[in-house]
Amino acid sequence: MKIYKLSQSINDGYDTYDSCIVIAKNEDEARLIHPSQSVTHITIIDGKPQFMGTYGDGSGHYIARDMGWVEFDEVDQIKVEYIGTAKPGSKPGIVVSSFNAG
């Protein structure tokens, strides 16, 4: 597993994520990790992949639009920087995120 810094400048106002550090197998998989822990998976809806969230009580899922990051069809615009190799046994996901609260 590798460690990457993801950053974006598409959404740069209040209540947005500007960057995050993630663990992933490769750059392509890193781009698919959303910096919000509320966004838990990706689902195909009407033929298009969407970031999805899970309600805190586990009662269901929602499309994670306007979650302060890029939309799924913009992940190719995320800047990805390789940082290093993760410790053996590390699991893919978010390490830390930078959120600009308004």
Which H or E element spans position 25?
none
**Which pLDDT value is given to residue 56?**
81
- Write 79-84 long-range contacts (CB < 8 A, 24+): 79/6, 79/7, 79/8, 80/4, 80/5, 80/6, 80/27, 80/30, 80/31, 81/4, 81/5, 81/7, 82/2, 82/3, 82/4, 82/27, 83/2, 83/3, 83/4, 83/5, 83/21, 84/2, 84/3
| pLDDT at residue 66 is higher than 80 | no
The better pLDDT of the pair 63, 33 is held by 33
pLDDT value at position 57? 84
Predicted TM-score of the model (pTM): 0.90
What is residue 77's three-state secondary structure? helix
